[in-house]
Chain A
């Protein structure tokens, strides 16, 4: 079960790494906001929950989240077999992994530079 979850998270990670750009903003604080904003909204869309999109920044997160959710649903047939609880678990696993790859485990020395 754990292996299947890990494999599914890796499939989603592979899609994000190959097709998205939002996860690679140039500073750690920026990446934290991007990952949190977009992946939370993607989870909400997949769970058919309401999504905040009133501010321009939220709207940008939502736009990326809509495209991501659509890509996940069309590429990974197993996504349709999951219930809300399972989707939330999967998306938390995905967020943890993306945070690790782009922030916590990143070797990019510029991430903590206080200046642009």
Chain B
């Protein structure tokens, strides 16, 4: 697994240790990219800052909260609207964004008065919302504005409101990940233990590291509810502020996205003895194992198995329809965050798609260990690539598709590599059994789009073919398949609904008797 040197980065020799290729018989002890370091001067980065990690990744998916940034209005934009972490309270957290709008004069004279005025104004504008998170930014941190003091003043004057202070200015870490750490620790220090929840089940969990992209959280919570498990809080997608203050009462922390949220799980373990179980929410086998593990922990594995059997029978024939058509396709898996490892093996197993490259923009070496361990030989692993490296990698690897974010995705399209949005999804949710089929459907649609075929025609020099008719997706995808596959009565394309989430919100669940509580009475 030698380090890989990009031609375009020859002038930045420090970049050499940020990329490796997994060679034959090699493992993570042969070479590992550097990670979670300050970006090298001279090299462009696509990273966000520590404020972005705290506010946009962890904080903002919390649904019943005014998220106020104490800084220039531009800070609130960063990644806003590109993450579709929806909520079941009419997407309050996505509709509005708040900043104190600091200007030059505030830098000179201080902005504490401005902050207080803004907090009160925001609460008055949204009288039903009584909770706020206050985020420090570079500008207000550098001038020393005491946002804790202002929050306390307001809470004294307005006793019905509660404010959480997040001191994670942009310069507070080398990347988003520094902000993840800060907001996790700040939340457990300031807020956990402040609210006593109503316990309604013998089996109570916190679902940690889930951001409800396009409804992912609601899919997973549906499974837990079907098992009779009470989900006390979700950290933080579709999560409510007060539920998250009662995290200390859960019996188990079910952790999905490790690096953004493991800090809070580890602290809950130290302070309250709550154990941590790591799960995968993507992929048929991985998800089945996850449900089974949670079931086993509580001694209700039969309930988990019933869900696994029902969902697999319903959705596997649809997954297999896509697997037949995606077999051997190559993907650059550049999602950022936990999908680096959640998807690396599962897409190969369930869809037959080979991962030729993984990357992380702000991951730690531990994140890369997981990603590389789950890839096959020949995969290129890159830490914090710049745009030119990304282009060079795609030209070298010639992937059939790339799963990544909006910005690198648009770059990929320029060189005619179809892209799927791995951050906010195309037509998610992608979690759950049905979600995984939706993901396969989106991959199929991207790779076999007839329009994508046309994009390879260079109208400045190529002759436009007039002797071929319009090809449908199936005409392109099925050309090399056997008749046994194409005529199969068992396999079928995705048959689910466009909106899979609304129905979950109106669903009723079986009432499992609470044995321990009843016997204790």
Binding site for B on A (CB under 8 A): 17-19, 21-22, 24-26, 56-57, 59-60, 62-64, 66-67, 100-102, 105-110, 116
Contact = CB atoms under 8 A, between A and B. Distances in A.
Contact of A19 (B28, B259, B289): B289
B252 A106 contact: no
B275 A56 contact: yes
B297 A60 contact: yes
Given A21-B280, A60-B277, A108 B366 contact: yes
Interface string B179-193: 001000100000000
14 contacts: A17-B373, A18-B345, A18-B373, A21-B341, A24-B369, A25-B262, A26-B258, A26-B364, A66-B296, A101-B27, A101-B28, A101-B29, A106-B32, A116-B266
Given A21-B278, A57-B275, A63-B277, A106 B293 contact: no
B230 interface: no
Nearest to A116: B263
* For the complex of A and B, 10 pairs with smallest distance between CB atoms: A105-B29, A56-B275, A17-B373, A107-B32, A108-B365, A21-B278, A18-B345, A63-B296, A60-B275, A63-B293
A107 B365 contact: yes
A19 B288 CA distance: 12
If over half of A's interface residues share one DSSP class (helix, strand or loop), that class is named, otherwise mixed; here it is helix
Contacts of B181: 116
A113 to B, nearest CB: 10
Contacts of A63: 277, 293, 296-297
Contacts of B233: none
Interface in B7-26: none
B378 to A, nearest CB: 16
B31 interface: yes
Contacts of B27: 17, 101
Contacts, number: 83
A107 B345 contact: no
B376 to A, nearest CB: 9
A88 B286 CA distance: 27
B28 A107 contact: yes
Interface in B343-373: 345, 364-366, 369-370, 373
B316 interface: no
Interface in B314-359: 341, 345
Nearest to A56: B275
Given A64-B277, A67-B289, 11 more contacts: A18-B374, A21-B258, A21-B278, A21-B279, A63-B293, A66-B296, A101-B28, A106-B32, A106-B369, A110-B366, A116-B181
A110 B293 contact: no
A18 B31 CA distance: 18
Contacts of B2: none
A51 to B, nearest CB: 12
Contact of A106 (B28, B259, B276, B277): B28
Contact of A110 (B289, B345, B365, B374): B365
Nearest to B184: A116
A110 B369 CA distance: 12
A95 to B, nearest CB: 16
B371 to A, nearest CB: 10
Nearest to A100: B29
Max chain A CB contacts within 10 Å: which of B181, B273, B366?
B366
B47 interface: no
Nearest to B375: A18
A27 B293 CA distance: 23
Contact of B293 (A56, A67, A107, A109): A67
B369 A60 contact: no
A56 B252 contact: yes
Nearest to B28: A101
A60 B374 CA distance: 23
A60 B269 CA distance: 12
Interface string B269-296: 0000111111110000110010011001
A110 B36 contact: yes
A28 to B, nearest CB: 11
Contacts of A22: 278
Given A21-B278, A60-B277, A109 B28 contact: no
B275 A59 contact: yes
A22 B366 CA distance: 12
Nearest to A23: B373
A106 B29 contact: yes
Given A26-B262, A56-B275, A116-B181, A17 B374 contact: yes
Contacts of B365: 107-110
Contacts of B263: 116
A26 B364 CA distance: 9
A59 B269 CA distance: 14
Contacts of B297: 59-60, 63
Max chain A CB contacts within 10 Å: which of B29, B31, B285?
B29
A22 B290 CA distance: 12
A108 B37 CA distance: 13
A21 B253 CA distance: 15
Interface in B251-267: 251-252, 258-259, 262-263, 266-267
Nearest to A108: B365
A87 to B, nearest CB: 22
Nearest to B36: A110
Contacts of B31: 107
